[in-house]
Amino acid sequence: MKVYGIDLGTTNSCISIMESGQERVIENDEGNNVTPSVVAIKNGEWIVGAAAKRQQEVNPNTCVSIKRLMGTNNTVNLEGKDYKPEFISAKILDYLVKNANKKMNENIKNVVITVPAYFDDSQRNATKLAGEIAGLNVMRVLNEPTAGAIAYKIDNNDAKKIMAFDLGGGTFDISILEVTGSDYEVIATAGDNKLGGDNWDDIIIDRIKKYCVEELKLEKSFIDLKSTEMRFKVAAEGAKINLSQMNEVEINIPFISMNENGPLHINFKLTKQEFENDSQELLKKVKKVFEDIIADSKLPIKSIDKVILIGGSTRMPMIVELLKSLAEESKINHGLNVDESVSIGAAIYGDSVFNKDSKNEIMLMDVTSRSFGTALDRDVFDILIPKNTTIPVSVSKKYTTVSDFQELIEIEILQGENPVASMNNLIAKFDLKDIQYAAKGVPLIETTFKIDADGILHVSSRDLSTGSEKGLSIKNALQISEKDKEQLKLEFKE
């Protein structure tokens, strides 16, 4: 069985395959290994990838960074119609697969799709749903830092501790793994789902807006228009990329507006030093995640044998310099293409696990990125599965009632680290009815939390006396019924 690896990224996406024992990144129809994660619609026609990115300045019906909305109830309005994030992401997956079909002369169905290690269950299920909408069989949802580590390959059988430092366009993850030959054991993971290259773009966009207000005297209502913001975004991203190689760039956006004297143009210079000064708060966030994972892993930084860089945002010199101040410079590895390594690792993993003829024999033990538990009386968070627990895992615990002759128990499923239940993320809840009619403290309710190999949570509760039972997979927390899923698939094919 052939299984393709897909990195469904915030800024760029990529698809790879193992072919005759060698990994291969598959080019898109424009001959590039990576495809911009940009989707647009024009007069009812969908445009994806580089073609969509080229016209994003002039087409307000363009969607970028959709990955940041995955697993939420937000929608994107394009040409007067609301679309779910999963639908837009399915367009990106469909584009990747159709191009690969042409190159490989195949009908691709089986894929491993990667997600940030810090994605919660709703986000993981949303990613899986996007694949299903695109007509794919999602064999596994794999953490991006883990995939990146697999791509780097460790040449000998000596145990090595590897830090996978993954700063992408919209998310940031760090995982520490112990690698022995083809055995990969994740020790700890930490991250920030709202930190990535987009945030550095925003730093430059703020400078552009300030120039518009102070120098061009433009109204805030105009500056905040989606079409104007899109022009700012394109200019900011270009400046950020150029500042990775240059000490100074010129930001030039012609004909941004008009006044009584004629056309107005944005034109000013930005130095690398100014950009880095403006980025200090973001760098503090990066440093905090680094410090968190060192604390969680209980490993001294000197015990890390190699730091591997993943994600296009690691190209920024300020990120490399920060890493040098936190880890030994000689251990920082720039060996693989940071845009392609995640999809390559996913392809290697998919080949190893699902292809019986594979010469790869990867054994992977991943961990939970956060703690899972339930709310008790007095707003107490009771953790059943702690952060950094090896998966798959199943844990059961017995609870009881707090009032006499209670008729039901509400099970709140929480994710987070705060001992106060209400301060954590509520990812789902359900009522267990028909419980034993008795005084408080008498009924025994057994609740089981189970996390599968995809990192997806399944919860069930059962009254040990009456046998009443109820459960759910967190995929149901997306609030999309099976009927709605089928409707999305039909709509996608139109």
What residues form DSSP beta bridges with 265?
Answer: none
Catalytic residue (one of 67, 128, 209, 233): 67
What gap in Å lies between CA 109 and CA 294, rounded to an integer?
39
Catalytic residue (one of 23, 120, 144, 339): 144
Phi first, then psi: give them for residue 144, nearest 5 degrees.
-60, -45
**Is residue 120 annotated as a catalytic residue, yes or no?**
no
**From residue 116, how far is each of 124, 287, 362, 420 by CA, in Å?**
9, 18, 20, 26
Q: Are strands 110-115 and 4-7 parallel, antiparallel or unpaired?
A: parallel
Catalytic residue (one of 94, 120, 121, 166): 166
**From residue 15, how far is each of 21, 47, 112, 186, 346 by CA, in Å?**
16, 18, 10, 24, 9
443-467 per-residue burial string, b: 16 or more CB within 10 A, e: under 16: bebebebbbeebbbbbbbbbbeeee
**From residue 127, how far is each of 49, 116, 121, 475 by CA, in Å?**
18, 11, 10, 10
Q: For 355-464, where are the alpha helices, taking DSSP H only?
A: none
What residues form DSSP beta bridges with 111?
Answer: 4, 138
Angle between the N-to-C axes of helices 482-493 and 121-133, in degrees from 0 to 180, rounded to the nearest 10 = 40
**Is residue 144 annotated as a catalytic residue, yes or no?**
yes
Active-site residues, by number, are: 7, 67, 144, 166
